[in-house]
Amino acid sequence: MADAALASHPGGAARGRSLWDDARRRLARNPAAVIGLGVLAVLTVLGLVGVANYSFAGLMGLHPVDMLFRESVSAPPSLGAGFLLGTDTQGRDLFARVMFGLGISLAVGLVATAVSLVIGVLWGATAGYIGGAVDSAMMRFVDILYSVPFIFFVILLMVAFGTNIWLIFVAIGAVEWLTMARIVRGQTISLRQKEFVEAAKAGGADGAAIIARHIVPNLMGPVVVFATLNVARVVLLESFLSFLGLGVQEPLTSLGKLIADGANNMDTAPWMIVYPAVVMFVTLLCLNFVGDGLRDALDPKDR
Amino acid sequence: MLVQIARRLLIAIPTMLAIIAVAFFLMRAAPGSPFDAERQVPAEIEQRLKAAYDLDKPVSEQFAIYLGKLILHGDLGPSMKYKDKDVADIIAEGLPTSLIIGAAAMILALCVGCSLGVWAALRQNRPEDYVAMSFAVAGVCLPPLVLAPLFSLIFAVELRWLPSAGLYRTDYTVSHLLLPVVTLALPQIAIISRLIRASMIEAMRSNAIRTARAKGLPEPQVIWRHALPVAMIPVVSYLGPAISTVLTGGFVIETVYQLPGIGKQFTIAALQRDYTLVMGVVILYAAMIIFFNMMSDVLYSTLDPRARRD
């Protein structure tokens, strides 16, 4: 990514510091973002182990995600009994389940964001680059979609086609691309008038090549910031669907689903809601710190 | 301004039609029918039930009939699950609750969000600023889904200060509304305060403010009369999205706190294939979101001439 930005930068072949070198340096000076990145890395590893523990039950001495400990149903957290975060109402180890749910939530967030990125960047860059009537038609379409109460349609999609995890990815991604398209279009319009685009045109590059080689790499800044914050939004949206019983389904689980289950049992087993909620809070907090840090690093207006 | 409103209304008509069509066909594509739960009903009675609701006709014809009734008579039809109720009645019952919670949350979010943002901006990079902004970040990360159960756990179950649930029509008290409204408002407080902090910092650095100070205006007047109106503009353009978020966010709130609003009705209706009720709620929410987005955009371009298109 950094290489692409470097290559397309005017005079990028020189030994100068690229936008991304600068940004990396500024990011490293932002303690909240650095800590956020570190914690996110740890959480990602935990999530991966959690998902692996689902595929290969009993990995690394963890309790299998689905194993029922019938003699310790709704057991409070205790190290002695081997249940670090307690068990749920069916006697499943909450620690293994929270790790697994974290992995699934992050996966949903990443995949849905990737879907929205692809649609949004292509749509916005095309509209902004072509301009004129095509631009206003394409952006009017985005305006129209903006006024659709999307959560209803996501719910209707889930009801119509069943709650399939791939459908969740696509449905959420299809909802979230609109803002992306708007950001990308605005950026593209200002980039289109830059000299290096003119130079590429004079050199005989066609529209598609200019979009792919010159416009898109220069858009990466705002796109990366948006994507980071979007992962947090998608995790939230998925948890909302899970809460309504329309998110990921058993035997899978997600942080949202764990919180929803915990909310039903919070009088008798408060740990069932507290731990998934804390993990979700920390995850979202780190994503926001990193997103804000990236924004300051890439767009140092207030330096 | 009137031209702008007229143009937005013209776009709103096809938008509404498209929303209605997609929702209609999506709902019909869902497996099952409203009468699935009543398995013991003999086949011919089920046939008659379906005939009574036009469900025996082809889907496209059903759509034409539905649209015809809607446009000509404003008729949302009878509910397919609540036997003797019209969709309009069910919505009329739930709407006040949803609107009260939504409006109260919006007002709370605006008041607290703006004060917090301005306060933090005027103390930029001081400890107070960091405290306020940490609070704001936490607000975005503590969504209603997490807040609602935790609030009821703390304030209702443990401390017993407030009722955890149950807002009954006859018994509207502030204490019932407090938790739902705060829960709904908190993420918006966070977003609004961050928005206004950023734009206030930018406004305070502008030449206009330097001029105002140079001509010797007292600082409060500089802030309230010159900086704040400019800083408010991004908040105005955020109002439309904020209102739709609060309206749809009311969903979770209504479910968690067991409030009898329409958000809660929608999910139940979708799961039970109550076709007409689903359509009614979708139409109502789409209309409200289109309306508030339009108002927000019109207000925005009135306040900021630079934002006017063409």
Check whether residue B101 and residue B169 sit in a common domain.
yes
So what's the pLDDT on residue B307?
56
Q: Tell me the pLDDT of chain B (310 aa) as tens digits.
A: 778 788 888 888 888 888 888 888 888 777 776 666 655 667 777 777 777 777 777 778 788 888 887 777 777 777 777 777 788 888 888 888 888 888 999 999 999 999 998 988 888 888 888 888 888 888 878 777 778 777 777 777 667 666 655 555 545 566 777 888 888 898 889 888 888 888 888 888 888 888 988 998 888 888 888 888 888 888 887 887 788 888 877 777 887 777 777 877 787 787 788 888 888 888 888 888 888 888 887 887 777 766 555 4
pLDDT at B243: 85
Is B37 within the bounds of a domain? Answer: yes
**B67 lies in some domain:** yes
Q: Higher confidence at residue B5 or residue A2?
A: B5
Strand partners, A93: A87
> Do B180 and B242 have their domain in common?
yes
Structure tokens at A179: 């803002």
B58 in a structural domain: yes
Burial of A300 (0-12, 13-18, 19+ CB in 10 A): exposed
The residue-averaged pLDDT of A196-201 equals: 85
d(CA A105, CA A103): 6
Residues B201 and B156 grouped into a single domain:
yes
Mean pLDDT of A119-145: 85
pLDDT higher than threshold 50 for residue A2:
no
Residue B45 identity = I
Q: Are B303 and B14 in contact (CB under 8 A)?
A: no
Mean pLDDT of A246-272: 81
- In angstroms, the CA A248 to CA A258 distance is 11
At B310 the pLDDT is: 41
pLDDT at A249 over 70: yes
**Do residue B141 and residue A302 have CB atoms under 8 angstroms apart?**
no
Residue B141 maps to a domain? yes
Same domain, B239 and B160: yes
Q: Which residue of B has its CA nearest to A274?
A: B150
Q: What are phi and psi of B39, to 5 degrees?
A: -60, -30
Contact B146 A155 (CB under 8 A): no
Question: Domain for residue B80, yes or no?
Answer: no
pLDDT in tens, A53-72: 777 766 666 777 676 666 66
Q: Are residues B211 and B169 in the same domain?
A: yes
C-alpha torsion B81→B83→B87→B93, nearest 10: -100
How sure is the predictor about A139, in pLDDT bands with cuts at 50, 70 and 90? confident
End residue of a domain, out of B73, B103, B122: B73
Does residue B24 lie in a domain region? yes
pLDDT (0 to 100) of residue B106: 92
Q: Tokens 């991304």 correspond to what residue?
A: A20
| Maximum average pLDDT range among A124-128, A264-268, B304-308 | A124-128
Radius of gyration, alpha carbons of chain B: 24
| B162 and B125 both lie in a single domain | yes
Residue of A176 and A57 predicted with greater confidence: A176
* Residue A145 structure tokens: 């979609």
DSSP states along A104-150: HHHHHHHHHHHHHHHHHHHHHHHHHHH-HHHHHHHHHHHHHHHTS-H
pLDDT score for B108 = 93
The answer to whether B157 contacts A281, with C-beta atoms less than 8 Å apart, is: no
pLDDT at B112: 93
Average pLDDT of the segment spanning A200-209: 84
- Is the same domain home to B194 and B50? no
ipTM of the complex: 0.73
Q: Hey, of B9, B125, B146, which one would you mutate to test binding to chain A, going by the most A CBs within 10 A of its CB?
A: B146
Cα–Cα distance for residue pair A116/A114, rounded to 1 Å: 5
CB A259 within 8 A of CB B145: yes
> Smallest CA–CA separation between A102 and chain B, in Å?
15
Which pTM was predicted?
A: 0.78
Residue A73 bridge partners (DSSP): none
CB contact under 8 A, B256 and A263: yes
pLDDT for res B105: 92
- Do B246 and B114 have their domain in common? yes
Task: pLDDT band for A21, please (50, 70, 90 cuts).
Answer: confident
Domain closes at, from B41, B73, B105: B73
Chain A residues with CB under 8 Å of a chain B CB are 140, 143-144, 146-149, 151-153, 155-157, 159-161, 232, 236, 239-240, 243-245, 256, 259-260, 262-263, 266-267, 270, 273-274, 277, 280-281, 284-285, 288-289, 292, 302
Nearest-angstrom CA–CA distance, B292 and B310: 22
Structure tokens at B29: 């594509």
Tell me the two tokens of residue B183: 């829960």
Tokens of A115: 């879907």
| Mean pLDDT in residue range A254-258 | 86
What is the total count of domains within chain B? 2
Q: Is B155 inside a domain boundary?
A: yes
- In the prediction, which pLDDT does A225 show? 81
Asked if residue B144 has a cis previous peptide bond (ω within 30° of 0), the answer is no
Calpha distance A205→A197 (Å, rounded): 9
Verify that B107 and B246 share a domain, yes or no.
yes
Are B54 and B95 in the same domain?
Answer: no
Looking at residue A191, its pLDDT comes to 82
Length of chain A in terms of residues written: 303
Lowest mean pLDDT among A6-10, A160-164, B184-188: A6-10
CA–CA gap between residue A190 and residue B281 (Å, rounded): 41
Taking only Cα atoms into account, the Rg of chain A, rounded to an integer number of angstroms, comes to: 23
User: Which range is least confidently modeled, A107-111, A159-163, B213-217?
Assistant: A159-163
> Which residues, 6 or more positions from B158, have their beta carbon under 8 angstroms from its beta carbon?
none
Q: Given CA atoms A168, A139, A148, B241 in this order, what sign does their dihedral have?
A: positive
Helix (H, G, I), strand (E, B) or coil at A156: helix
User: What percent of chain A is modeled with pLDDT above 70?
Assistant: 82
Give the model's pLDDT for residue A5.
47
pLDDT for res A1:
43
Instruction: Find chain A residues with C-beta within 8 A of B145's C-beta.
Output: 236, 239-240, 243, 256, 259-260
User: What's the one-letter identity of residue A37?
Assistant: L
Looking from the CA of A143 toward its CB, the CA atoms found within 13 Å total 15
**Greater confidence, A52 or A278?**
A278
CATH architecture of the domain A18-65+84-302 equals: Orthogonal Bundle (1.10)
Q: Is residue B267 part of a domain?
A: yes
Q: Would you say B189 and B112 are in contact if contact means Cβ atoms under 8 Å apart?
A: yes
Strand partners, A114: none
Domain that holds residue B187: 90-309
Return the DSSP state at B125.
Answer: T
Residues of A in contact with B150 (CB under 8 A): 273-274, 277
Same domain, B38 and B125: no
Assess whether B96 and B148 both reside in one domain: yes
Q: Are A9 and A17 in contact (CB under 8 A)?
A: no
Distances (CA, A) of B298 to A149, A208, B217, B289, B308: 20, 36, 32, 14, 9
* Domain layout of chain A by residue ranges: 18-65+84-302
pLDDT at A61: 65
Chain A residues inside the 8 Å CB shell of B153: 266, 270, 273
Of residues A220 and B110, more confidently modeled: B110
Strand partners of residue B86: B78
CATH of the domain at B231: 1.10.3720.10
